Structure 1
Amino acid sequence: MKKNRNTVIGIFSIVFGGMIYVLWRKQSLLMFSWFYSIGLKPFVALLREFAHSYSLVMPEWVYFSLPNALWAFGGILLFYSIWKDACSERMFWVLLFSMTAVGSEIGQLVGIVPGTYDTTDISLMLIFIPLAITIGNKNHAIKEVSDAKGL
């Protein structure tokens, strides 16, 4: 079975965004209580201890804004994995997903979505969303060519 580039890159992006949260975000987030309830507290503590020194030299946007952009990026690539051929369903879900990602940040600005509005969040999403669409289309074209050649 051939690996789908969009799937691999999409999953990696989502996992990488999640790891940023695990390593550098506040432990008051709900996910930490889930980790601790299944016995992962020592493992998470070890990871966070190892990563702490990196947070001292990393810009804040990496751990506050990059995860959302990575999740949007990865999610879109996964839609390209589900609908490998260009179709209205893929376009619908990519647009809905993109509007929800950006719209939730705008909702934070006007106070209808909980959280803290950040222009860096929107800026990164407005870079990563078109990038994911471009990569998704390119990877699809590469796969079509390799399939046609029997690779």
Structure 2
Amino acid sequence: MKNRVIFVVLSLFSLMFSVSMYTDWRGYDHGLFYWGQAVLPLDLPRHWMGLLGTEYESVLLYNIPDGLWMFALCAMILAVWGMSEMYNVGIWLFLALMSGVILEIFQYTGLVPGTFDWFDIYAYFIALGCIVFLSQIQNKLKWKAG
């Protein structure tokens, strides 16, 4: 049970942080995006963003939130399935990754509105790699303690 709580907390934190990055850091002050300030009020002044340079600013504002959303989804999959049935966990993690990649492909073809970005796909793979790495560490710590 304790192991699942860790993944729920990781999922919720990464989801809240990515929503804050997506809404607050971009400077949206209207409609749908205004609620992000209420979820996790993190302000990053726009002039600080200019210090990063345009290529890093783009990665921070667009690709990292997508990667964090994938991380949140994968962490929640681990929270739901636990570590007992790794075959099922692997299938669900693969489906999560493929859904992100397919949505990017649909954006490229115009079937889904949005902008295709290779860095989004890289962010999905990095997020999956991070959650698998964390689950392996968590398994080893559990094994040593038990």
TM-score by length of 2: 0.77
Cα–Cα, structure 1 residues 135 and 94, in superposed 2: closer, same or farther, change >3 Å?
Answer: same
Aligned to 1:125: 124
Count of aligned residue pairs for this structure pair:
139
Aligned AA (1:133): V
Aligned to 1:19: 20
Q: Are the equivalent residues in 1 in contact too, given 2:70–2:97 (CA < 8 A)?
A: yes
Q: Is 2:76 the partner of 1:78? A: yes
Q: Are the equivalent residues in 2 in contact too, given 1:6–1:139 (CA < 8 A)?
A: no
Aligned AA (2:95): L
Separation in structure 2 between the aligned mates of residue 96 and residue 15 of structure 1, nearest angstrom: 23
> What's the Cα RMSD here?
2.8
Identity %: 24
Cα–Cα, structure 1 residues 28 and 108, in superposed 2: closer, same or farther, change >3 Å?
Answer: farther
Q: Are the equivalent residues in 2 in contact too, given 1:21–1:63 (CA < 8 A)?
A: yes
Consecutive unaligned residues of structure 1, counting only runs of 5 or more, are none
Larger of the two Rg values belongs to structure: 1
Q: Are the equivalent residues in 2 in contact too, given 1:23–1:51 (CA < 8 A)?
A: no
Deviation, structure 1 residue 141: 3.4
Deviation, structure 1 residue 22: 1.9
Cα–Cα, structure 1 residues 101 and 26, in superposed 2: closer, same or farther, change >3 Å?
Answer: farther
TM-score by length of 1: 0.74
Separation in structure 2 between the aligned mates of residue 92 and residue 78 of structure 1, nearest angstrom: 14
